[in-house]
């Protein structure tokens, strides 16, 4: 009978990110289950914290007298051996705490849902790494089932069905709610499916977790945290648009669903598919190294037209070229038209009329915009100043700069009277529209699906997007525009406005792999990600100096320290052969200090961005 347990206490203190031994009093020995929650005393016993039982034994090797656990919080083994191994690996890879990983993976306990769950402890799965494939998705809309969905998602459903037929389960991870809804439509007819996201009450989320843990669910489709779903007999993981930043947790340890999927693929022996409408630089690197193989499918891609046809000096500066106007006018007689714009709102930013400086919020420093009524406000925190005061020249007058989705809709509504105008962005959520004439103005990633596909997809502000001074600009634009282009009808075209040069030619001719391969070659020369791994370290200048000295031998490049708004920062680039050593040294330094200002953020690509993305 169990008399000693090794537990992980729920504490943010780095030194406590390890297993601690506790004795089990006689009254609780029959209730102890590995993987269940318990309550244990911490410190001198003056306070009690929750903990997970990771191991059970008959005796301790600690060599000291052990403290008794206080209570058992249910008999459900919510922490499986596979989950524990995965959480430890994710924490070690990112230099974070295992508790932080488990908070993202396991919902808070709901007592009512936990009672009489009848779930037995799981065993550890040991297997060699499964196959890894890159799948290029077909463009187009599928309406053959009960609901509309993307044709590419039906391709994924075909891979899921193959795994289900073999008796195993499948996990599909998508970036956002829109893809979640459309993917559920594609796979739900195949088997019992769990939708996994942040919606619902805590009790509902915990019930959903238990449903998956019990083995009754065959398919899980969800956003980034679904990558931890404890499916039984997992046979397939599909990550859609693996380069999308939405798949990265915004809090420590900032784990990316792509990297977690690779770890699970290595631990549980399941097949792993990275599926997307456009290739990414990361997937190109995997193929180049032989780390993954192509699925072999040759994707169907839409016809693309480049609109670079100024007629005179005035139209040369027009946001919508004349040829796009003609296509819109013709198409609106029979089909809906989608226009993709760069920014939401009415006026995305305001500038000083005297010095042309972009005005920023006095509270959070985000860019200020203006509504249709003309009142300036912060696009991030909503602050509305009582008066305008330029931070650069103290000018008192402002002017609008740029055109957002709402202003575009307002102006096109006047140009096409009698035509329905739909705005789709973060504040105006629209999932689908019927197959009848309409003008749909959407920001990137917020495009609704249209029955039968759009008669025309026009991508505006493309030149502005391509000029963003960011390391990821090229692959971001390729991903955004390929996803929007995939919504066009089979016999219709996509128009890319104001883009020329090599990118425009390759995008229009469907040579998307060439775009990312060229990008990968350039980054390899520069030693930038994904060829190397980035680590951003912030903290006090003295501590940063100590950390720099410890990691100098294992790092390829160390940039800084440089001053930030609140502290100082080091940016470290490490080869993949040495990145574990760098992360381990930084984590060891943090754990060794009683108090420290050092914070580690692995794979922080924002350090390569020199513009405001709010």
CATH label of the domain that carries residue 448: 3.40.50
Q: Give 10-residue mean pLDDT values along the chain (614 residues).
A: 87 92 91 93 85 88 82 92 96 95 93 77 83 97 85 97 97 97 96 93 92 94 97 96 95 95 95 97 97 95 86 55 91 95 76 79 77 71 79 78 76 89 90 94 94 95 86 94 96 92 94 97 94 94 94 90 88 94 95 91 85 40
Residue 334 φ then ψ, to 5°: -130, -30
For residue 148, give the nearest of 352, 374, 430 by alpha carbon: 430
Residue 116 has a pLDDT of 66
Q: What is the CATH number of the domain that holds 603?
A: 3.30.70.120
Residue 114 lies in a domain: no
Residue 98 lies in a domain: no
Residue 93 lies in a domain: no
Residue 423 has a pLDDT of 92
| 198 and 328 assigned to the same domain | no
Residue 16 has a pLDDT of 92
For residue 400, give the nearest of 428, 378, 424, 368 by alpha carbon: 368
State the residue range of the domain holding 551.
533-608
Our count of domains for the chain comes to 4
| 211 and 261 assigned to the same domain | yes
| 147 and 290 assigned to the same domain | yes
| 581 and 452 assigned to the same domain | no
Residue 209 lies in a domain: yes
CA distances from 226 to 84, 134, 319, 424, 442 (A): 16, 20, 40, 26, 27
Q: What is the CATH number of the domain that holds 240?
A: 3.40.50.300
For residue 226, give the nearest of 158, 180, 268, 191 by alpha carbon: 180
Name the domain boundary from 57, 75, 93.
Answer: 75
**Interatomic CA distance for residues 72 and 37, integer angstroms:** 6
Residue 491 lies in a domain: yes
Bridging pattern class, strands 271-276 and 132-136: parallel
**Interatomic CA distance for residues 604 and 248, integer angstroms:** 10
**Interatomic CA distance for residues 605 and 472, integer angstroms:** 8
**Interatomic CA distance for residues 320 and 166, integer angstroms:** 52
Which residues, at least 6 apart from 163, have a Cβ–Cβ distance to it below 8 Å? 169, 170, 235, 236, 271
Residue 380 has a pLDDT of 73
| 315 and 282 assigned to the same domain | no
Residue 394 lies in a domain: no
| 280 and 315 assigned to the same domain | no
| 202 and 68 assigned to the same domain | no
Sign of CA dihedral 94, 95, 98, 103: negative
Name the domain boundary from 488, 503, 523.
Answer: 523
Residue 6 has a pLDDT of 94
CA angle 141, 236, 513 (to 5 degrees): 55
| 245 and 191 assigned to the same domain | yes
pTM: 0.90
**Interatomic CA distance for residues 190 and 6, integer angstroms:** 41
| 149 and 247 assigned to the same domain | yes
Residue 383 lies in a domain: no
- DSSP H helical ranges for 281-321: 281-289
Helix, strand or coil, per DSSP, at residue 502: helix
| 66 and 136 assigned to the same domain | no
For residue 134, give the nearest of 552, 569, 512 by alpha carbon: 512
Residue 227 lies in a domain: yes
| 283 and 312 assigned to the same domain | no
Residue 612 has a pLDDT of 41
Sign of CA dihedral 371, 376, 382, 386: negative
């Amino acid at each position: 009978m169990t008399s000693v347990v090794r537990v992980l206490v729920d504490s943010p203190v780095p030194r406590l990110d390890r297993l601690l031994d506790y004795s089990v009093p006689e009254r609780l020995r029959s209730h102890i289950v590995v993987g269940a929650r318990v309550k244990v005393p911490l410190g001198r016993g003056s306070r009690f914290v929750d903990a997970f039982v990771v191991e059970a034994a008959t005796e301790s090797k600690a060599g000291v007298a052990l403290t008794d656990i206080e209570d058992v919080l249910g008999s459900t083994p919510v922490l499986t051996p596979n989950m524990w191994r995965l959480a430890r690996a994710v924490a070690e890879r990112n230099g974070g705490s295992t508790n932080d990983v488990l908070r993202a993976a396991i919902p808070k306990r709901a007592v009512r849902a936990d009672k009489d769950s009848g779930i037995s402890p799981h065993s550890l799965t040991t297997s060699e790494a499964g196959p890894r494939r890159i799948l290029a998705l077909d463009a187009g809309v599928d309406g053959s089932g009960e609901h509309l969905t993307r044709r590419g998602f039906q391709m994924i459903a075909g891979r899921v069905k193959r795994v289900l037929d073999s008796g195993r389960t499948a996990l599909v991870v998508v970036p956002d709610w829109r893809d979640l809804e459309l993917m559920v439509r594609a796979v739900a007819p195949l088997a019992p499916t769990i939708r996994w996201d942040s919606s619902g009450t805590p009790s509902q989320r915990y019930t959903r977790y238990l449903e998956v843990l019990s083995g009754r669910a065959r398919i899980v489709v969800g956003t980034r945290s679904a990558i931890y779903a404890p499916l039984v007999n997992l046979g397939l993981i599909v990550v859609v648009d693996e380069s999308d930043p939405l798949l990265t947790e915004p809090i420590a340890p900032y784990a990316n669903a792509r990297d977690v999927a690779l770890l699970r693929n290595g631990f549980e022996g399941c097949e792993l598919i990275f599926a997307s409408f456009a290739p990414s630089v990361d997937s190109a690197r995997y193929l180049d190294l032989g780390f993954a193989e192509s699925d072999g499918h040759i994707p169907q891609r839409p016809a693309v037209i480049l609109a670079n046809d100024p007629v005179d000096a005035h139209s040369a500066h027009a946001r919508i070229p004349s040829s796009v106007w003609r296509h819109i006018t013709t198409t609106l007689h029979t089909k809906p038209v989608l226009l993709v714009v760069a920014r939401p709102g009415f006026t995305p930013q305001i500038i000083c009329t005297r010095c042309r400086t972009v005005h920023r919020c006095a509270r959070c420093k985000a860019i200020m915009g203006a509504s249709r009524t003309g009142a300036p406000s912060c696009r991030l925190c909503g602050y509305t100043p009582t008066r305008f005061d330029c931070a650069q020249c103290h000018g008192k007058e402002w002017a609008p700069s740029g055109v957002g989705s709402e202003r575009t809709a307002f102006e096109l509504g006047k140009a096409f009277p009698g035509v329905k105008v739909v705005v789709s962005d973060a504040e105006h959520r629209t999932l689908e529209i019927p197959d009848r004439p309409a003008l749909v103005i959407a920001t990137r990633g917020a495009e609704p699906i249209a029955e039968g596909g759009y008669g025309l997809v026009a991508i505006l502000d493309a030149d502005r997007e391509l000029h963003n001074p960011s390391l990821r600009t090229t692959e971001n634009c390729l991903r955004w525009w390929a996803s929007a282009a995939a919504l066009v009808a089979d016999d219709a075209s996509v128009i890319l406005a104001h883009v020329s040069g090599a990118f425009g030619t390759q995008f229009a001719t469907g040579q998307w792999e060439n775009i990312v391969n060229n990008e990968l070659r350039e980054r390899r020369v520069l030693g930038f990600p994904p060829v190397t791994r980035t680590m951003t370290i912030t903290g006090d200048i003295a501590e940063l100096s100590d950390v720099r000295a410890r990691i100098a031998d294992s790092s390829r490049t160390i940039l800084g320290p440089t001053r930030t708004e609140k502290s100082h920062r080091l940016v470290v680039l490490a080869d993949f052969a040495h990145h574990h050593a760098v992360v381990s040294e930084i984590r060891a330094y943090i754990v060794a200090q009683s108090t420290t200002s050092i914070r580690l953020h692995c794979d922080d690509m924002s350090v390569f961005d020199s513009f405001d993305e709010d």
